[in-house]
Every structure is written in C-alpha cells, then in structure tokens.
Amino acid sequence: MTLLALLLCLTGFAALALAMDRHHHALVGVRPAKARKRWLQLAGTLVLILALVVSITAWGPAYGPIYWLGLLTAGAAPVLLALTYAPRRKP
C-alpha cells in the first residue's frame, strides 16, 4: 500500500511538473498547448487526491493523511531531482 500511494504521489507530481512551461520545454522541447496544460494539471491533481484516498483506505482517517503528507514530500523530491539531473534538451 505504501508503494502504491508513493507511486501515485510521484505520478501526480510528474504530471503537475509536465504541465509547467519550463519543464515541459526541457522534456519535450516545446511549450505545452493550453488544453494540454489544463489536462495535465487536472490529471496530476486527481492522482494526488487518489493517493489520499488510498492512504485513508490503508491507514484510516487519522493516520492516512499523516502518511499522505509524508508521501507527498517523498514523491515530489524524486521529480525535482530527476528534472535537475536527468539528461535533457538544451533550452
């Protein structure tokens, strides 16, 4: 369950990062279209909410949100590190 919730947080933040001009440009080479940005933002948010639902299902209403907040940090950090250190296109 921990792994599932962590992966959801990671995916959610990856989608949110991809919805940003700078990171989309670095990864894909172009700025994202408006519709695509919206879509990525919505998807990222929903996946993060899904991670909360999974956390509450796994650990209950008291512990679930605590796990979720910790896993949000643990999920966002690798996205930041990947965007920083993974090889990418020159801007």
Partner 1 sequence: MKQGFRQSQAGLHTWTGLLVGWVLYLIFLNGTVSYWREELTRWARPEIAATQNLETVTRGAVAHLQATAPKAASWQITLPDERASGAETTWKPKGKPKPLRPGAADSTATTIGPDGKPVVARDTEGGDFFYRLHFDLRYMPAIWGRWVVGFCSMFMLVAIVSGVITHKKIFADFFTFRPGKGQRSWLDGHNALAVLALPFHAMITYTGLVTLMVIYVPFGVTANYPTKTAYYAESAPRTKAPKPKGEAAPLTDIGPVLATAAKTWDGGQPGIIRIDNPGDAAARIVLTRRASDKLVDGRWEIVFDGVTGKVRSSVEPTSAGMITRGGMIGIHAGRFAPMTLRWLFFLSGVAGTAMVASGLVLWTAKRRAKLGDTRHFGFWLVERLNIGAVAGLPLAMTGFLWANRLLPTGMPHRADWEVHAMFLTWAAALIHAFVRSPRRGWIEQLSLTGIALVLLPMFDQAATGRGLIDSLKAGDSALVGMELGLLATGASFLLIAWRVARSQVKQGAKDAAPAKPAEAHG
Residues 6+ apart with CB under 8 A from 59: 1, 66, 67
CA dihedral of residues 62, 64, 70, 74 (deg, nearest 10): 180
Q: Is 4 in the site for partner 1 (CB under 8 A)?
A: no
Among residues 4, 73, 90, 91, the one that binds partner 1 under rule CB under 8 A: 73
Q: Is 27 in the site for partner 1 (CB under 8 A)?
A: no
83, HSE (Cβ side, Cα atoms, 13 Å): 20
Residue whose CB is less far from partner 1, 30 or 66: 66
Binding interface with partner 1 (CB under 8 A): 2, 13, 16-17, 20, 22-23, 62-63, 66-67, 69-74, 76-77, 79-81, 83-84
